[in-house]
Amino acid sequence: MTLRIEGVITALVTPFVKGQVDYEGLAQNIAFQIAEGVSGILPLGTTGETPTLSEQERAKIIQLAAEQARGKALLMVGTGSNCTARTIHNTKLAKDLGADAALIVTPYYNKPTPEGIFRHYEAISEAVDLPIVVYNIAGRTGVNIETTTMKRLSSLPNIIAVKEASGNINQIGDVIHEVQNKHGNFTVVSGDDAMTLPLMALGGHGVISVVSNLTPRHIVAMVKAAAKGDYARARLMHFELLPLFKGAFIETNPIPIKAAMQMCGMPAGTCRLPLCELQPAHKEQLRKILEELGLLK
């Protein structure tokens, strides 16, 4: 059966204790996600602080996630970099260690042309037989994948979805209408919690979520309601969670979500440099949001 990307996939934080990866804490977090009913988990994404992890740490994280998710949830692994050869290496490693799919971000810093973007994904698709989800987030990479380029990418055999975090609802609508609706199994999912409901109202299929690290059950319920066309319920949940959606990005992700998880007694730890702790004023603001939602223990 062809893999289909939909529902709620949690972009996992990488918990640290005294600067070292807390593998026991990560295992607890993954078990919590699966018990709460998410469709899948995503280690080694932006939220996982992947650029600060060694290859040995990344491999161990994939192995741990594969063992826990097998037969229970989709395992998508972030394998992208700004080097095509390195991305191919990372994607082969993820496949060998049990990944069901790879999330591959647009090359950052290099600022490739649309043709360069296409050739990057084409080379990966040809080199590794693993379903690929394109990650479009110009705010992180410095380059946006235009709809015309996404059309070309969707024709590649292993490209099955896009994580849309452009923040442009018009572009998102165009991609859903001109790419998803014309390419069978290809799906569009949100890369921004606050955009999940608008994206699904346009025909998208879910979210790769940051906030679900903390409250997966609520995100799953909202996405399920939207998928069933119960927009009245989905809207109520969206507006209830909106302060948290905003609070989770009050500073650079994953600084706020890790702070929120710490406040709620979940394994998260601090961030690795160059990311640092949440500023005191923002920490207090986030605490108030958590109190109002009844999430503090």
pLDDT in tens, 171-209: 999 999 999 998 878 999 999 999 999 999 999 999 999
Q: Using alpha carbons, select from 188, 114, 180, 106 the residue that is nearest to residue 148.
A: 114
Task: Tell me which fold the domain 7-239 belongs to.
Answer: TIM Barrel (3.20.20)
Among residues of the chain, what percentage have pLDDT more than 90? 96
Q: For residue 183, what pLDDT is reported?
A: 80
95, 121, 135, 283: which one is catalytic? 135
72, 121, 151, 163: which one is catalytic? 163
pLDDT band (50, 70, 90) for residue 247: very high
Q: Using alpha carbons, select from 115, 165, 158, 125 the residue that is nearest to residue 141.
A: 165
Query: Strands, E, within the chain: which ranges?
Result: 7-11, 16-17, 20-21, 40-42, 74-78, 101-105, 132-136, 159-164, 187-190, 206-209
Q: How far is it, in rounded angstroms, from Cα 92 to Cα 90? A: 6
Catalytic, 163? Answer yes
Catalytic, 151? Answer no
pTM for the complete prediction?
A: 0.96
Q: How far is it, in rounded angstroms, from Cα 209 to Cα 191? A: 7
Over residues 27-82, the pLDDT tens digits come to 999 999 999 999 999 999 999 999 999 999 999 999 999 999 999 999 999 999 99
